[in-house]
Structure 1
Amino acid sequence: MEEVTLRERVTADFNNVVEFLKDLVRIPAVSSLPEHASDMQVSAEYIVKNLEAAGATARIVTVTDSNTGLVSRPAILAEKSGPAESPTVLLYAHHDVQPTGDLDKWDSDPFEPVERDGRLYGRGASDDGAGVATHLGMLRAWGDELPVNVKIFIEGEEEVGSPTFNAFLEQNREFLQADVIIVTDSGNWDVHQPALTTGLRGVLSVDVNVKTLDHAVHSGAFGGVTVDALTCLCRLLATLHNQKGSVAVPGLVTKTVADVDYPEDDLRKQMGAVAGLELTGTGDLASRLWTQPAISVIGIDAPSVANSSNTIIPQAKARISMRIAPGQDPQKAAQALSDYLVANAPFGAEVSVECLETGPAYAANLDSPVLALMHGALTDAFGVKSVNIGQGGSIPFIATFQEFFPAAEVLVTGVEDPYTNAHSENESQDIADLQGAVLAESLLLGRLAKDANTPQN
């Protein structure tokens, strides 16, 4: 099929894609709430029905993790064949959504889609109903002329941390084998500005425990010769950043330059910074958010003010979350953090560290021909040059895909934007950008087929 014809077909069918997305939004497929288990099933059945109508073979699949006994929420596996010798592309999205949050903060019913100012409002309209709609729209556009083999995996529990993801890949490994994996669960740099997510920070968390005494003692009797454990803990935590606010732990991977400029005014507005707040760290703002390590203290165990007494606290504990740069080994980062905390114990306090979790970072191969094809497809679909961006947060299952399918090229894309409000009230999706995503994915598959059939010198 010529690309001009493909464009015409995407345009002609797009209203149907939007109606599909609206119907999907109307299903409250909240994976974290047991009372919505039946809605998860309804959502999966609706997606299967539409994929089959687009010519795919589709089915609902659940797995049981033999290690934990957990049974997965309903997922969808689908496939549609292209020419026998053509590449195989696996398309990922998820159909489960977040809870609504405070209903009083929504301008409309979160499960009744509303179009307003070129955007579609509703829970899951973007995260990740738009991803599901993108894959469906592509299938509908190509019809019976699909140029590659397509597999589709629509997960049902991404919003609860994908607890059975490894088991799902293991039990469906043969079906999911592919040359290219496209994960449609990320976003663009801005409205009408397409992007590929080429870097994701990893994550790890540790508990650090500081002990100074075997038991609590009276602050009047012993204050002045020993410092309470909470003070020691606070002094230790304060050393984790240098005077400019950069992470002070040595031995961590870092990169201080990014491909795009992040406007400071936008950043301050997005995070709700108080007037006069100094931004921490050095280097480009985008690099501080995407390619440099970051440390946050996310919890402290110590007596509350209401329950405090005139005693010297013998023990205190804090939980630390660290984001690690693409290219960083999470185990080495955890060891570096642990070694640093123990080595910098104040006043000879006893410090112990327990690592709770690690999630690897993701770094795309920027020299990949497939990545170049995807950028070209996005640029042509949107009429604006596609850029590489990162995400400060983590998508741990990206690394899981790479682990299970090391020969596959993994691309991370999506249609969220700075105004999407994913996971928050008034979630929305720019409708024109959704059409751009459908066209870009459609163009990519055609170009992958042509590239595979082009003799290599």
Structure 2
Amino acid sequence: MSSESLRDVQVRDAATAAVPAALADLGALVRIPSVAFPGFDPAEVGRSARAVADLAEGLGIFDRVEIRDAAVPGTDERGMPAVLATRAARNGRPTILLYAHHDVQPVGDESLWDSSPFEPTVRDGRLYGRGAADDKAGVMVHIGALRALSEVLGTDFDLGVALFIEGEEEAGSRSFATFLSDNADALRADVIVVADSGNWDARTPAVTVSLRGNVRFTLTVRTLDHASHSGMFGGAVPDAMMATVRLLSTLWTEDGSVAVEGLTEREAPTPEYSEATLRDEAGLPDGVSPIGDGTILSRIWNKASLTVTGIDAPSVVNASNTLSPEVSVVISARIAPGQAAEDAYAAIEAHLRAHAPFGAELSFADVDFGDGFLVDTSGWAVAAAREALGDGYGVEPVDLGVGGSIPFIADLVREFPAAQILVTGVEDPHARAHSPNESLHLETFRNALVSEALLLEKLDARTA
């Protein structure tokens, strides 16, 4: 942590004072069910984009605020609306690009929520609601920090700012690369802050330095031309469910480690992290053992994982005494940082084809790739971010690996190779992003907003 100047103190005070209004605006955003998935009302995503654009316009600092979309490659579709606000740098100052997203995950089974998912509710120091943490809180950290900066410096400060609030991150960022290409001049920056990650815990900030990549695909296993009577043919004819279970079981060893040849792992040290902490943060009950080998964080940060996230097969209520001809499953793979997602997929597909039991026919569809990310921590922007986080939280930040994926960062690197990319966030391990009862730790939000305001102030004082 650094010694604070008078301007630092002024920015800190302004940022702290900005928190109540930022939380009120966050509550208004949470009330908008901006799910960008097919089958949900796209007008709600448009309404959310308009609300974010109004917040950006209300700052009075941008030369231009627009709602834009971009083409989805390979289709005649347009992506969901994003907000793009820009102001030019002056007097040799750098430009910072602030990214977050305003779309959210579907709520799933609403009966599992303790309060309405789109009615922001405060309980025990946390704000509950879909998007309260992921990632409308990221949106409001940006807005609140800019409010604080302009409160101290006025609206005529020198720092260049591009605010990019995406509208389809949860749905795969299908038009992201096109959006970057279409708006490259407006988005080009010296520093990019991606506010869509997490922290070590509720009081310890983090700079995310590695992210796993991802591969997602649908596998269909077929063994019969049509369903047959299980009594008449069972015992001689393999059904698709049997073949699928046998095939999927080959993906893991006895201890749950991934057993696919060709998937790599990253060699890197990890901080101490106990099994008790894992059980608390993941909701792993006593009696259920963790899987894998090596340190717990190496399994999450540096190795591949495979998860079956969906299955199409006869439901329990519709079960009949028949042999199923085909079964489809969705497989989600997380890939070690440093391995190309396409190479990882090739290894997984080869493994499945080599282990298909009873000559089962396999087909693969809806394949989606996302490369991992390793941060270059040697730049001045990382040093500035660490200092701002330490000052904002009152606790020195840690370098964090994340088991999740933000595939579009590879697009940012490709489009803006000279930019320094900082991955931060407002989530703590109990945020339950993507799950029922998603929530935001209010003190973490306050500290994140103060930290970003201090970072903006540092950059405004720097000659690029």
Q: Does the CA contact (< 8 Å) of 2:219 and 2:364 recur in 1?
A: yes
Separation in 2, partners of 1:415, 1:6: 19
Number of residue pairs matched by the alignment: 450
2:383 is matched with which residue: 347, 372, 375?
372
1:175 counterpart = 2:180: no
**What is the DSSP-based 3-state SS (H/G/I as helix, E as strand, rest coil) of the residue aligned with 2:427?**
coil
Q: Does the CA contact (< 8 Å) of 1:94 and 1:128 recur in 2?
A: yes
Query: Bigger shift: 223-232 or 76-85?
Result: 223-232
1:19 is matched with which residue: 24, 30, 35?
24
In 2 relative to 1, CA 33–109 (structure 1 residues): closer, same or farther, beyond 3 Å?
farther
Q: Does the CA contact (< 8 Å) of 2:73 and 2:174 recur in 1?
A: no
Query: Bigger shift: 126-135 or 154-163?
Result: 154-163
Indicate the residue corresponding to 2:3 in structure 1.
none
2:77 is matched with which residue: 52, 64, 70?
70
1:438 is matched with which residue: 446, 449, 454?
449
1:404 counterpart = 2:415: yes
Separation in 2, partners of 1:359, 1:130: 24
Q: Does the CA contact (< 8 Å) of 1:118 and 1:431 recur in 2?
A: yes
Indicate the residue corresponding to 2:92 in structure 1.
85
In 2 relative to 1, CA 351–444 (structure 1 residues): closer, same or farther, beyond 3 Å?
same
**What is the DSSP-based 3-state SS (H/G/I as helix, E as strand, rest coil) of the residue aligned with 1:78?**
strand
2:293 is matched with which residue: 276, 282, 292?
282
1:307 counterpart = 2:314: no
Separation in 2, partners of 1:373, 1:417: 22
Separation in 1, partners of 2:148, 2:114: 34
In 2 relative to 1, CA 373–344 (structure 1 residues): closer, same or farther, beyond 3 Å?
same
What's the offset of the Cα at 1:352?
Answer: 4.7
In 2 relative to 1, CA 4–325 (structure 1 residues): closer, same or farther, beyond 3 Å?
same
Q: Does the CA contact (< 8 Å) of 1:28 and 1:111 recur in 2?
A: yes
Separation in 2, partners of 1:33, 1:314: 28
Indicate the residue corresponding to 1:354 in structure 2.
364
**What is the DSSP-based 3-state SS (H/G/I as helix, E as strand, rest coil) of the residue aligned with 2:164?**
strand
RMSD, aligned CA: 3.2
Separation in 1, partners of 2:162, 2:176: 17
What's the offset of the Cα at 1:288?
Answer: 0.9
1:392 counterpart = 2:403: yes
In 2 relative to 1, CA 450–115 (structure 1 residues): closer, same or farther, beyond 3 Å?
same
Q: Does the CA contact (< 8 Å) of 1:256 and 1:282 recur in 2?
A: no
In 2 relative to 1, CA 220–184 (structure 1 residues): closer, same or farther, beyond 3 Å?
closer
1:97 is matched with which residue: 94, 104, 115?
104
Separation in 2, partners of 1:210, 1:103: 32
Query: Bigger shift: 86-95 or 139-148?
Result: 139-148
2:126 is matched with which residue: 100, 107, 119?
119
What's the offset of the Cα at 1:92?
Answer: 0.7
1:146 counterpart = 2:157: yes
In 2 relative to 1, CA 219–39 (structure 1 residues): closer, same or farther, beyond 3 Å?
closer
Separation in 2, partners of 1:350, 1:41: 45
Separation in 2, partners of 1:74, 1:227: 48
Q: Does the CA contact (< 8 Å) of 2:266 and 2:338 recur in 1?
A: no
Indicate the residue corresponding to 1:327 in structure 2.
338
Separation in 1, partners of 2:247, 2:131: 42
**What is the DSSP-based 3-state SS (H/G/I as helix, E as strand, rest coil) of the residue aligned with 2:248?**
helix
1:339 is matched with which residue: 331, 334, 350?
350
Separation in 1, partners of 2:220, 2:106: 34
In 2 relative to 1, CA 389–344 (structure 1 residues): closer, same or farther, beyond 3 Å?
same
1:42-57 matches, within 5 Å, as: 42-54=47-59, 55-56=61-62, 57=64
Query: Bigger shift: 444-453 or 149-158?
Result: 444-453
Q: Tell me the amino acid that sits aligned with residue 437 of structure 1.
A: A
1:246 counterpart = 2:257: yes
Q: Does the CA contact (< 8 Å) of 1:81 and 1:146 recur in 2?
A: no
What's the offset of the Cα at 1:194?
Answer: 0.7
Separation in 1, partners of 2:111, 2:315: 31
TM-score with structure 2 length normalisation? 0.84
1:58 counterpart = 2:65: yes
Separation in 1, partners of 2:107, 2:236: 52
**What is the DSSP-based 3-state SS (H/G/I as helix, E as strand, rest coil) of the residue aligned with 1:242?**
coil
In 2 relative to 1, CA 307–274 (structure 1 residues): closer, same or farther, beyond 3 Å?
farther
1:128 counterpart = 2:135: yes
In 2 relative to 1, CA 351–58 (structure 1 residues): closer, same or farther, beyond 3 Å?
same
Separation in 2, partners of 1:251, 1:66: 30
Separation in 1, partners of 2:248, 2:320: 23
In 2 relative to 1, CA 48–341 (structure 1 residues): closer, same or farther, beyond 3 Å?
closer
In 2 relative to 1, CA 119–213 (structure 1 residues): closer, same or farther, beyond 3 Å?
closer
Q: Does the CA contact (< 8 Å) of 1:93 and 1:154 recur in 2?
A: yes
Structure 1 residues 65-111: Cα deviation after superposition (integer angstroms, max 9, x where no partner): 46312233332111233424221111011122334444444444444
What's the offset of the Cα at 1:260?
Answer: 2.9
What's the offset of the Cα at 1:293?
Answer: 0.5
**What is the DSSP-based 3-state SS (H/G/I as helix, E as strand, rest coil) of the residue aligned with 2:279?**
helix
**What is the DSSP-based 3-state SS (H/G/I as helix, E as strand, rest coil) of the residue aligned with 1:321?**
strand
Q: Does the CA contact (< 8 Å) of 2:94 and 2:462 recur in 1?
A: no
Separation in 1, partners of 2:38, 2:249: 38
Q: Does the CA contact (< 8 Å) of 1:256 and 1:292 recur in 2?
A: no
1:192-207 matches, within 5 Å, as: 192-206=203-217
**What is the DSSP-based 3-state SS (H/G/I as helix, E as strand, rest coil) of the residue aligned with 2:297?**
helix
| Amino-acid identity (%) | 44
